[in-house]
A and B are shown apart, each in its own frame.
Chain A
Amino acid sequence: MLNSSIYCPGESSLHRANPLTKSTGLFTVVVTSFLLPPPALWVVSAIILLIGLACGVGGSVIWRYVLLSLPFTLAVFVFHGAILPRSDMQPVLGWLHYSLTGLEHASLVGGRISLILASSLLFVSTTAPATLLRALDAARWPPGLSFLLASPLLLLDQFTGRARAISDAQQTRGLSVDGSPWRRLQALRMLLVPLLTSALADAQERSHVLTARGFRALPYRTVIDPPADTRFQRFLRWSLAVFMAMETAFMVLR
C-alpha cells in the first residue's frame, strides 16, 4: 500500500533535468495558477498527470493525486455549491439546493489546489531529495536555506518510511487491514495517530538540526559531483523567472 519513498527512480528527461530547473518550473506553475480560469486549471492538471505517465511515474503520481485531492475537492464543491448561502440558490430536490456561482467558485479553488498538487507530486516523484540538495549547494545557496527547502522532501521520505514500519508492526501483531470499510477506517486511524505524535516529537529535534546545519562557519558547501546543468536550462530558468515577475506585477497592478 505504501511505498517507502515518493521519489521513483527513472531515466526520463524530467528525471535528468537539473533540480533547479524543475523547481523554477514548479514555482512558475504555482504563480500561474492564480491567473488561470477554472477550466484551464483542470486541463493543465490533466496535462501534468499525463506528463507523469510519459515519464514513467504516472502510477505513483496519479494514485497520490487522487488520494489527496479527492476529499478536498468534494468538500469544496459541497461547501461552496450547496451549503454556503448565496443569492442564486436553486432548489434541486427537497431540502437540497445548489448555487451556480458557488459551484464556479469551488471549481476555481479546487482547480488551483489540483494544479499545485499535481505539479508538486510530479516534481517530488522525479527528484531525489539528495540531488536537490546537491544542486542547491552547487548553486552556492547557503546550506541552511537549501536544507530548509529540501527538508520537506526528506521529511516526506522519513514519514512514509515510518508509516510503513508502523503498518508492518501492526499487521504482524494481528491487525487485519482489509474487510469492511469500517475496519479499514479503524486501521487508518491507528496508523495516522502515532504518525502525527511522532511527527510532533520529531519537530523539536529537527529544529536543532536546522540550527546546527544553518549557521556554520563556511557560507556555502563545496560539491564534488554537482547535478548536470546545461546552457539551455539556465536560459529557461531565467526566462521563467522573468515570466513569473511579469505575472506577479500583473496581479498586483490589475
Chain B
Amino acid sequence: MLEVRDLGFAYQGQPLLFDGVSTTVPDGHILAVVGRNGAGKSTLFKLLNGLLKPEDGEVLVGGKSISGRKISEIAAHIGTVFQSPEQQLFAGRVEEEVAFGPRQFGLPANQISERVSDALNRTSLLDQIARHPLDLSAAERRFLAIASVLAMRLPVLLLDEAQRGLDRVWTERLESILEAERSAGKSIVMICHDMDFVERNADTVLALGGRTPRQIPVPAFFSDTEVLAEVSVERPTPYRLREFMT
C-alpha cells in the first residue's frame, strides 16, 4: 500500500505546486493521475521516488515512512517507468538493462537470470535478449523500461505515460501486464492522458491542476462535469456515447 499524506512542494522561486495533496493506493489498486501539461504529474512521481524532497508531508509504503531516505533505498520499495524511455536506457545489452535493478539488490546470479527471463517474457522481449537497447523499436524500448522495473518485483509501481503512442497490440500487452500486477497485489500509479485507457484500467483518479486535488473513483470522476472542466480532460468514449443516447 502506498500512502501520501499532506504533500507540499514548490520548485525554487516558484509558487506552491502542491499544497496538502493526500492519496492512498491500496494493494491491488490502480490510481490514474491526470491533468493538463505542467499540472505537476511528473513532479509528483519524483516526490514519490525520492528524486525530489517534499517540503511538507510524508510518503508511506506498507505503513512505513520512506520520506528522507536515500533514493537508492526508496528503490527497494518503489519502481518508476519514466516518460521517454529512450532517455533512460543505459546498458549495452537488453539483458544487462533488466539485470541492473536486481543486481543492485545483491541477489545471486541464478535468481537474477530467472528474474530477467521472466520480465522479458512478460514484455514479449525474450527474443531481443542479446540486442542493444538502442536497436529496438520505440515500443520495444518502452517495454524494456517496464521490464527493467518489473524485474525488481516491488510493491509500488509508477508509470509515466506508458501507454502513449502504442498501437493496439502493444496497448493490449500493457493492459495485461497492468492487470497481472494488480492481481499480484501491487499498488500502481499511472500518469495518463488517454481517458479511454484510464476508464478501462484504473480504479480511482487523482486530478491535478484543479483547486483541490482529490482522489475519486473512476465512474464518479467521469460523471463530474465540473471536475472534468477544471482539469480540462476529455470524457472517455463510453461516457460520451451514453450522454449522446440519453
Per the bound structure, the CA–CA distance linking A177 and B84 in Å amounts to: 23
Question: What's the count of A-B pairs with C-beta under 8 Å?
Answer: 69
Binary A-proximity of B75-93 (CB < 8 A = 1, otherwise 0): 1101110101001111110
Interface SS of A by simple majority: helix
Residue of B nearest to A195 (CB): B90
Residue of B nearest to A194 (CB): B90
Question: Contacts of B71 on A, CB cut-off 8 Å?
Answer: 171-172
Residue of A nearest to B75 (CB): A174
Question: Contacts of B90 on A, CB cut-off 8 Å?
Answer: 166, 169-170, 190-191, 193-194
Question: Contacts of A169 on B, CB cut-off 8 Å?
Answer: 82, 88-90
Q: Does A198 contact B (CB under 8 A)?
A: yes
Question: Contacts of A165 on B, CB cut-off 8 Å?
Answer: 82, 84, 87-88
Question: Contacts of A96 on B, CB cut-off 8 Å?
Answer: none
**CB contact list, A203-224 vs B, under 8 A:** none
Q: Does B11 contact A (CB under 8 A)?
A: no
Q: Does B44 contact A (CB under 8 A)?
A: no
Question: Contacts of B155 on A, CB cut-off 8 Å?
Answer: none
Q: Does A175 contact B (CB under 8 A)?
A: yes
Interchain CB contact under 8 A, A173 and B148: yes
Interchain CB contact under 8 A, B88 and A171: no
8 Å CB contact of A174 from B84, B89, B91, B152: B152
Per the bound structure, the CA–CA distance linking A174 and B119 in Å amounts to: 17
Per the bound structure, the CA–CA distance linking A194 and B80 in Å amounts to: 20
Q: Does B197 contact A (CB under 8 A)?
A: no
Question: Contacts of A170 on B, CB cut-off 8 Å?
Answer: 90, 100
Q: Does B101 contact A (CB under 8 A)?
A: yes
- The minimal Cβ–Cβ distance linking B212 to chain A, given in whole angstroms, is 29
Q: Does B195 contact A (CB under 8 A)?
A: no
Question: Contacts of A198 on B, CB cut-off 8 Å?
Answer: 134
Give 15 CB contacts A-B under 8 Å.
Answer: A162-B87, A166-B88, A166-B90, A169-B90, A170-B90, A171-B72, A172-B49, A174-B76, A174-B104, A175-B72, A175-B75, A176-B104, A197-B92, A197-B134, A198-B134
Additional pairs, 8, CB under 8 Å, beyond known A171-B71, A174-B105, A194-B90: A170-B100, A172-B74, A172-B78, A172-B79, A172-B80, A173-B148, A174-B72, A194-B92
- Please list the residues of chain A having a beta carbon within 8 angstroms of any beta carbon in chain B: 161-162, 165-166, 168-178, 190-191, 193-194, 197-198, 201
